[in-house]
Homo-oligomer: A and B are copies of this chain.
Amino acid sequence: MTSLPKGRDMVSEGSQPHFSTLLIEGFAARDKHVPSGKRQIVSIHVPGDFVDLHSFLLKEMDHSVVAFTDCRMALVPHDRLRDITERYPNLTRLLWFSTLIDASIHREWLLGMGRRKAFANVAHLICELYIRLRVMGLTRDWRFDLPLTQQELADTTGLSIVHFNRALQDLRSRHLLTWEAGVVTITDWPGLVRRGEFDPDYLQLNMDDLAPA
């Protein structure tokens, strides 16, 4: 079990790590950059996520992983993963499955960035984070911690920070959610789902997991 302070890179683009990282506590993200310096976050990770399992088979990281908050995580050596694939087919399929969910989320985000309006995409992201955190038992009623800045969420949705803020105002003015001091409270789930055109199928959850939060 190791830990990493807020803001630091867990893994750097172009590196060739010899271990993969299971996030135990804290928030992290994977990001890529364009030559001009603009940043795009391609994935947000919550506790329980394997943030760079794919580095086990890809030669070189195509992006960085950065800690949004102080994080605790478990490092799994690639040798160990290789051993698992040699001896435990069930576990191997489970690990593979987890990278497939990542890809499914990527596809949903592609749809959102390409074909949804800004406010819808922001609402969709909040819905997704709520569901993912709830599965991990990290929500209290309709409330959850979201220790990210608006700049980071703008980089996630592909918006400018100003326009992200405007989209957020839209959701607030419709009384769909509040967001104060890093705590999001969803006040109208059906309304938020509608505004975000959210359908959780792509998360491949067993809806049985979604007993009362």
Which residues on A are within 8 Å of B, measured CB to CB? 14, 30, 32-35, 38-40, 42-43, 54, 57-60, 62-63, 85-86, 89, 92-93, 96-97, 99-104, 106-111, 113-116, 155, 157-158, 197, 201-202, 204
Contacts and interface: CB of A to CB of B under 8 A. Distances in A.
Contact of A60 (B108, B157, B201): B201
27 contacts: A32-B107, A33-B111, A34-B115, A34-B197, A35-B197, A42-B111, A54-B100, A57-B100, A58-B97, A58-B101, A58-B204, A60-B204, A62-B107, A62-B204, A85-B92, A86-B89, A92-B96, A96-B99, A99-B103, A102-B103, A103-B106, A109-B110, A110-B110, A110-B158, A113-B114, A114-B155, A114-B158
What is the oligomeric copy number? Answer: 2
A127 B115 CA distance: 23
A25 B39 CA distance: 37
A117 to B, nearest CB: 10
Main secondary structure of the interface of A (DSSP, over half): helix
A57 B34 CA distance: 33
A187 to B, nearest CB: 23
A113 B113 contact: yes
A107 B116 CA distance: 18
B111 A40 contact: yes
A93 B56 CA distance: 10
